[in-house]
Copies of this chain bind each other. A is one copy, B any other.
C-alpha cells in the first residue's frame, strides 16, 4: 500500500512504453531524412565467378570502377549511408535518382521496383533486442544489375549476410556457380530466415507472458501485453509488404532474373507467407492472452466479493442478536435466564454455519475460492 511500490509498478513501464509508441508512430517517409551523416563509410567488395573470388575492403569509391565490366559478378556492400558516397556509387552504376532517394530515406515501407534495367528492393532487417524486448529494424536497400549487386545498410556492426560471405569463399557453392540474381535470392532468403529468429524470440515472450498471466494477473502483466502488441505491429508492418515484394519478383519478367532462379524466389515467397500466417497466429494468441488476463482479474474480484459476502453473513446474526439483547428494555425474555447468554452466542455461531452450507450447496465453492 506504499506510494512508492505503486509508482514502481505502474508508472515506470508505462513511461517506457510511451517512448516505444513514439518510435512506432513517428513514421514519415517523405520528410527529408534527418539522418545523422556517418563519419566514415565502409565498402566491402566481393568480386567472383565460378573460378575465383576476390574479397576487398576499399577506402575510396573510385576503386570500385576497377570491378566494372570485368565479366565477373561484383557485390558491393556499403555500411553507413553518407549522402555523397551513395550518390557517387549510384552514379557509377547508373541507378535512377528516385531509387537513390529511397536508399537515403528512412522509415520507408518495404517495396520492390524495376527502373531502367535495375531491380531495386528495399526492406528491413529485424533484430530482437533482448534487453528491452523490442524489435529493432535496420533498412536494407539492394540494387540488382546485370552482373552486380549493390547493398546499402546503415550499421556496420551487424548484418545477416555472414553465411553468404562464407559460401562465396567456397568454389563449389551454388552462389558461385550462378549469376547475380542468385546472390539477390541468397540475401533475401537470409533476411526472411532472420525474421523467423525474431519471431521465435517473440514467441518465447508470449509463452513467458502466458505463464505470468496465469500465475498472477497484475498490472505489470498488462503493461507487457500492451508492449508485445506494439512489437507485433512492428513485425506485421515489416512482413506484410515483404510478401508483396517477393511476389513482385516472382512475377517479374525482368531480364535480370534467370528463369532457373524463379523457383528459389518462390521458396522465399513460401517462407514469407508462412511468417505472415504465423504473425496472425501470434495476434490471436495475444487476444486470448488478454481475455485470460481480464478473466483472471474478474475471477479475483469475484473471490473478493465472496469473502465479503461470507463475512457479511457472519456479521448478520451477531449484529441482530447483539442488537436485540443489547436494548435497554425493562422486560426482555431470557435476560435473566441462566443459559440465555449461551443460547444467543450459540445462535450467533449456528446461523452463519448454516448459511455457509447453503452457499456450498449452491456451488459457490466449485470455483477457485
Residues of A at the B interface (CB closer than 8 Å) are: 1, 3, 6, 9-11, 14-15, 17-18, 21-22, 24-31, 96, 98, 102, 108-109, 111, 113, 115, 189, 192-193, 196-197, 199-200, 203-204, 206-207, 210-211, 214-219, 222, 226, 229, 233, 237, 240-241, 263-264, 266-267, 270-271, 273-274, 277-278, 281-282, 284-285, 288, 290-292, 294-295, 297-309, 311-316, 318-338, 340-341, 344-345, 348, 359, 361-369
Q: How far is the CA of A259 from the CA of B118 in the complex (A)?
A: 17
User: Lowest 10 A-B CB distances belong to which pairs?
Assistant: A322-B323, A25-B203, A14-B214, A325-B327, A30-B193, A318-B320, A109-B274, A28-B196, A329-B341, A218-B367
Which residue of chain B is the closest to A13 with respect to CB atoms? B214
Interchain CB contact under 8 A, B341 and A267: no
Is A331 touching B341 in the complex (CB atoms < 8 A)?
Answer: yes
A324 to B313, CA, bound (A): 16
B302 touches A320 (CB 8 A): no
Shortest CB distance A129–B (Å): 19
**How far does the alpha carbon of A348 sit from the alpha carbon of B11 in the complex, in Å?**
35
| 19 sampled A-B residue pairs with Cβ under 8 A | A14-B215, A15-B214, A17-B214, A21-B207, A233-B281, A290-B291, A295-B297, A300-B363, A304-B305, A308-B309, A315-B316, A315-B319, A319-B319, A319-B322, A320-B348, A322-B326, A323-B323, A327-B344, A330-B337
Cβ–Cβ contact B21 & A219, under 8 A: no
Collect the chain B residues with CB atoms within 8 Å of residue A305's CB: 301, 304-305, 308
**Contact between chains at B332 and A263 (CB < 8 Å):** no
A302 and B312 contact, CB distance less than 8 A? no
Copy number in this complex? 5
A26 vs B237: C-alpha distance in the bound complex, in angstroms? 21
Chain B residues whose CB sits within 8 angstroms of the CB of A274 once the complex forms: 27, 29, 108-109
Residues of B within 8 A of A278 (CB): 27
Closest-CB distance, A323 to chain B (whole angstroms): 2
Q: Which residues of B contact A108 (CB under 8 A)?
A: 270, 274
Nearest Cβ on chain B to A271's Cβ, whole angstroms: 6
A207 touches which of B18, B115, B295, B324 (Cβ 8 Å): B18
Task: Give A348 to B273 CA distance when docked, in angstroms.
Answer: 67
Chain B residue at minimal CB-CB distance from A270:
B111
Alpha-carbon gap, A11 to B314, bound state (A): 31
Q: Which residues of B contact A233 (CB under 8 A)?
A: 281, 284-285
Nearest CB of B to A178, in Å: 13
Q: How far is the CB of A354 from chain B (nearest CB, A)?
A: 13
Q: With the chains together, A207 CA to B313 CA distance in Å? A: 38
CA distance A29 to B278 in the complex (A): 11
- In the bound complex, CA of A308 to CA of B9 (Å): 22
Please give me the residue from chain B that is nearest to A267 by CB atom: B98
Knowing A9-B368, A307-B309, A309-B307 are in contact, say whether A115-B327 is a contact too (CB < 8 A): no
